[in-house]
Structure 1
Amino acid sequence: MELAEKLSLSTWRSDDSPLVLSDIFSPNISVAIWQRQASSVISCYFENAFQSLGMGMRSVFSMKSLEQELNNTLPEYEGKKDAIEDIYLLSDMLTCLFDCDDVGLRLVPLKSAMCPTFHIDNIPVRLVTTYLGSGTQWLPLEALQDQPPKQQKQGFAKTNSGAYYKQSHIQQMNPFDVGLLKGKAWDKQAKMAAVHRSCQLQKNDKRVLLTLDPM
């Protein structure tokens, strides 16, 4: 398929309504993004708590115990209650959307890019949001090419999966945006796996990333 024809398609959706997240079930959608307002209370909490977060949290939690686990683990700073409520809200939305009881939660403080190259995840789907710092970057599938035009090779870069893209094709979520990204293990839709990466961080930059997997 020629690039011009591919670009007339759209493999992603974004909206200021959380209902847009259900678009991830469309066979033609790779990324669905709920564009929501940032919370200064929550971002200030993670700014103040950054050092105390240590290595962060990585575990599978049931919805029944999640709030208590977060309360026991997260450090005590102003805004903690708001942060816990938001993490619980997103987890509840995810478990309702995918009809499951548990979430694989990862909440990590970062000073460097965790996954700096464009790649796809070998999972069915993942929710991502950034509470502090810059958001996740991703590529519309319709912009990827198997081979760059011979006359323009220098203007293209290569993803981990071997596809080519231009810098101008890179999209980026805003802080507090909530994205659902299909993975390679989505049922019979490996070709729709989202191509994404962590944003590049400069010296002294800080980032707090939340990812949730339905379990």
Structure 2
Amino acid sequence: MSGLLLESFPAASVSPGAEVPTWRCGAASSADPDVLIGILRPENNLAIWHRDIPDALSRALAALAAEAPFTATAEDAPDQAVDALAGALPRPAPLDLLLDIRRLAVAFAAIADTGGDVRIRLEGIAGRACHRWHADAVGLRLLCTYRGAGTEWLPLAGGAPVARSLDDPALPVMRIPRGAVAILKGEGHPGNAGAGCIHRSPRVGFRAGPRLLLCLDAPGRIPLE
């Protein structure tokens, strides 16, 4: 696993006197795709595979992003789910995008041990989305921003209970770069209740342009729209 960076953040960094878990939360970060497997380590709440979106694909995504706001979802084995997703989009998607989503779906299904199926959501987001700090109720969730600003996260322990009380402009906000693939550990992961990765959509205005965000989950728990 080349270029692997493991970071640990003490729970005490949330705020003086706060009651938070005594375990440490951490993030694994690398340009090696194998880093995503690091999310299965107990101390990691986040794994980020750093990569760039090819310029040709970035240009090809402009037309699809211009259709925002929209949400397209599908749930099935990766091949069938991507086909269904493509049919639910407001306009034809670039082939390279669909191939990339399929590759990520196959990898996520293996890492999350979903039994082969996966739930795919591709959103065109105009303006702000979920900009409050929160931790997801799912087990594992994969996020990739293909266009626009990436998801913001905090290297803090405490999960959803701490996230609900955060409103400090001096917080150590981190951002998942555009094109990078991140797997976040949620409150529903075994043994992780009250300790999910704290994150939010970026605080960007309408002038920043629409975002294209991919979200992969295990099937079954979240109803399709």
| TM bracket, shorter-chain basis | 0.7 to 0.9
Query: Which stretch of structure 1 is more off in the superposition, 97-106 or 176-185?
Result: 97-106
Please, what TM-score do these two structures have when normalized by structure 2? Answer: 0.78
* CA–CA separation in structure 1 for the residues paired with 2:29 and 2:168: 21
Relative to structure 1, the CA distance from residue 20 to residue 73 in structure 2 (aligned partners, 3 Å threshold; closer, same or farther) is same
* CA–CA separation in structure 2 for the residues paired with 1:197 and 1:127: 14
Aligned position for 1:105: 120
Residue in structure 2 matching 1:69, options 60, 77, 84: 84
* CA–CA separation in structure 1 for the residues paired with 2:108 and 2:206: 34
Report 1:71-150 matches (<5 A): 71-74=86-89, 75-76=91-92, 80-99=94-113, 100-141=115-156
Equivalent pair of 2:25/2:155 in contact (CA under 8 Å):
yes
Equivalent pair of 2:39/2:46 in contact (CA under 8 Å):
yes
Aligned position for 2:204: 201
Q: Per-residue deviation at 1:37? A: 1.7
The structure 1 segments of at least 4 consecutive aligned residues displaced by more than 4 Å after TM superposition are: 163-166
Q: Does 1:210 align with 2:214?
A: yes
Aligned Cα RMSD in Å? 2.6
Relative to structure 1, the CA distance from residue 63 to residue 127 in structure 2 (aligned partners, 3 Å threshold; closer, same or farther) is same
Equivalent pair of 2:68/2:125 in contact (CA under 8 Å):
no
Q: CA offsets, 1:171-190, max 9 Å, x none?
A: 00110100111110110112
Which protein shows a greater Rg? 1
* CA–CA separation in structure 1 for the residues paired with 2:104 and 2:42: 23
Structure 2: which 5+ residue stretches go unaligned? 1-10, 15-20, 220-225
Aligned residues: 197
Equivalent pair of 1:42/1:131 in contact (CA under 8 Å):
no
Q: CA offsets, 1:58-112, max 9 Å, x none?
A: 23232241242244344236xx110100110110110122232211111111112
Q: Per-residue deviation at 1:163? A: 5.0
* CA–CA separation in structure 2 for the residues paired with 1:10 and 1:117: 20
Residue in structure 1 matching 2:51, options 22, 36, 39: 36
The secondary structure found in structure 2 opposite 1:22 is helix
* CA–CA separation in structure 2 for the residues paired with 1:15 and 1:65: 30
* CA–CA separation in structure 2 for the residues paired with 1:190 and 1:126: 15
Please, what TM-score do these two structures have when normalized by structure 1? Answer: 0.81
Equivalent pair of 2:46/2:185 in contact (CA under 8 Å):
yes
Query: Which stretch of structure 1 is more off in the superposition, 158-167 or 35-44?
Result: 158-167
Relative to structure 1, the CA distance from residue 107 to residue 92 in structure 2 (aligned partners, 3 Å threshold; closer, same or farther) is same
Structure having the larger proportion of residues in helix: 1
